[in-house]
Chains A and B, each alone.
Chain A
Amino acid sequence: MVNLFKRMRKLKTILNVRVGEGAAILPAAASATKEFPAITRLHLTYARKMYNGHQGARHFWRNCLPRLKYYNPAIPMTVRQTDDQEGPAALTVYFAQQASKTAGLLATAELKDTHAPAPADNETAAALDVRGLGYSEIWTKVKKLTGAEEVPATAEELAELKELERLRAKAVEDRARIAALRQAKKDQERMLQEARGELEKMRQS
């Protein structure tokens, strides 16, 4: 098994799951208001390649969705990759009972995402057209649509983040230093090799 220290160092990356864009709690049945009803599930559809503005949707899945899932473990979130570049890049949000007040402004009613599951009887789906948007823009839209409450990072988390950043910068420096040392050693060896070759020649002649 991999060295314990390496494993623990690698495991520090789970901090990324807790802190950053998308670290927010969506309204659940207990915390729902009239304006922002509870969210029952999320579904994202996008095409495999980035052409025609599908890149942001993929980045949203990679960056924001894990954090959303971490803070809302009970909400099912599905992602569907298609091969159809012309097809929709859509994030469908399912509300319990009726959609939120902001859905009328943000959601695109005519967007036809055939891959998204059909809403159940007591659900209303609102589809966001995310084609051509960056993942941060998508996240802002989702926040406005659902009324998600962001979870601020604690002081310890921020300190840890800073420490990791410091280590990362240090690693770049160290890497350059070690590379220089190794190169110097290699040069030295090559020089000796060449000198030995000349000696051989002298003896033969």
Chain B
Amino acid sequence: MSSFSSLLPTAARGLISSCRSPLRPASMAPIVSSFQQARAASKGGRKKMMDKSKGSKPAKKGPKEFIQRDLKNIDRWALCDAMRYIRAIEVGREPTNVKYEIHVRLRTKRDGPVIRNMLRFPNPVSTESRICVICPPGSKAEQDAIAAGAVLVGEQVVFDAVKAGKIEFDRCIAHPDSMEAFNKAGLGRILGPRGLMPSAKMGTVVEDVAGRVDMLRGGTTYRERDAVIRLPIGQLGFSPEQLRDNLRHTLEQIKKDCANLNDRIYKDIYEVVLSSTNGPGFSLNGDFKTELSVDPAALQGN
């Protein structure tokens, strides 16, 4: 009996064993035999599943695109109305610290390239960061860096200032030629924990020092994550016109980014949400104001 059943697939074996003739003397305790049966059946089941997966396509992984719901049914706001609410919710906070943010939802596939870029606003959002440049004194890079607006430029000057504990800059860039001197100076202990160490990986060790300084000073980087681009676009004290200009500039740039992608990849702006540091998100309908809106001049300052 056993040799015969071993030739059959396991599933069939389970089947047979379950309809054995009652004449056959029970050799095992009833609990154990039923346990074995159950195991055989489950084993057969698993094998069946594996066969199926081998033959046909692999299991479905879910939708290829991010879900796009119909935005007709949701509340959407004009810019001024959304600003009025946000300003009410953020009342009493420092108008330069609190930022308006936008979340741009894209119509896109789940895989494929993402948008990543840098932009400069017509009205700068953050106060310009102070930049330190480490480069050989007297070189062309030094002159360029100063011309581009770096605060602290040089080699030994910078090292001395840092060692004395005077770190009066927010970003640090180095020229490859002075990396040797920089490594000798051993400033890793001071600059490392502050995140100011220049490294090629972060793009802060570059030949074109001036260009990088220019970019770091007033630019904002943004990237798409899970089909959403999030970036701050204004301080709370901004007037609706200032915010509108920044918004328009940003959306134009994102549209350009979408168009610049590969031909086969299609991306498109689907929803724009205005939010703030502590506030909720208001989906914008593209209007500047409605007839019920307050005077836009009232929506600025504190």
Contacts and interface: CB of A to CB of B under 8 A. Distances in A.
A120 to B, nearest CB: 14
A14 B299 CA distance: 18
A17 B227 CA distance: 31
Interface in A37-74: 41, 44, 61, 65-70, 73-74
B232 interface: no
B130 interface: no
A73 B89 contact: no
B92 A73 contact: no
A11 B84 contact: no
B87 interface: yes
A73 B75 contact: no
Given A11-B75, A203-B32, A17 B301 contact: no
B123 interface: no
A66 B87 CA distance: 8
A140 to B, nearest CB: 20
Contact of B85 (A65, A70, A74, A76): A70
Interface residues of B, number: 31
B298 interface: yes
A73 B87 contact: yes
Given A11-B282, A17-B85, A74 B91 contact: no
B177 interface: no
Interface stretch (A1-9, A142-150, A161-169, A172-180): A1-9
Given A1-B105, A73-B294, A11 B280 contact: yes
Q: Which of A4, A61, A73 gathers the greatest number of chain B CB atoms within 10 Å?
A: A73
A77 interface: yes
Contacts of A74: 294-295, 297-298
B88 A1 contact: no
Contact of B228 (A1, A68, A73, A199): A1
A77 B85 contact: no
B190 to A, nearest CB: 30
A203 B297 CA distance: 83
B84 A73 contact: yes
A123 to B, nearest CB: 15
A76 to B, nearest CB: 4
Interface in B269-302: 273, 280-283, 294-295, 297-299, 301-302
B171 interface: no
Q: Which of A1, A65, A203 gathers the greatest number of chain B CB atoms within 10 Å?
A: A1
B226 interface: yes
A64 to B, nearest CB: 10
A78 B88 contact: no
B226 A1 contact: yes
Nearest to B283: A7
Interface string B103-121: 1010000000000000000
B69 interface: yes
Given A13-B280, A73-B294, A74-B295, A65 B92 contact: yes
A10 interface: yes
Contact of B91 (A7, A13, A41, A65): A65
A55 to B, nearest CB: 16
Contacts of B88: 17, 66-67, 69-70, 73
A79 interface: yes
B52 interface: no
A103 to B, nearest CB: 22
A79 B280 contact: no
Contact of B92 (A14, A17, A41, A44): A44
A89 to B, nearest CB: 14
Interface in B22-55: 31-32, 35
A77 B302 contact: yes
Interface in B73-104: 74-75, 84-85, 87-89, 91-93, 103
A8 B32 contact: no
Contacts of A77: 91-92, 302
A41 B91 CA distance: 13
Interface string A5-38: 0011011011001000000000000000000000
12 contacts: A1-B228, A14-B89, A14-B280, A17-B89, A65-B91, A70-B84, A73-B294, A73-B299, A74-B294, A76-B302, A79-B92, A79-B93
Interface of A: 1, 4, 7-8, 10-11, 13-14, 17, 41, 44, 61, 65-70, 73-74, 76-79, 199, 202-203
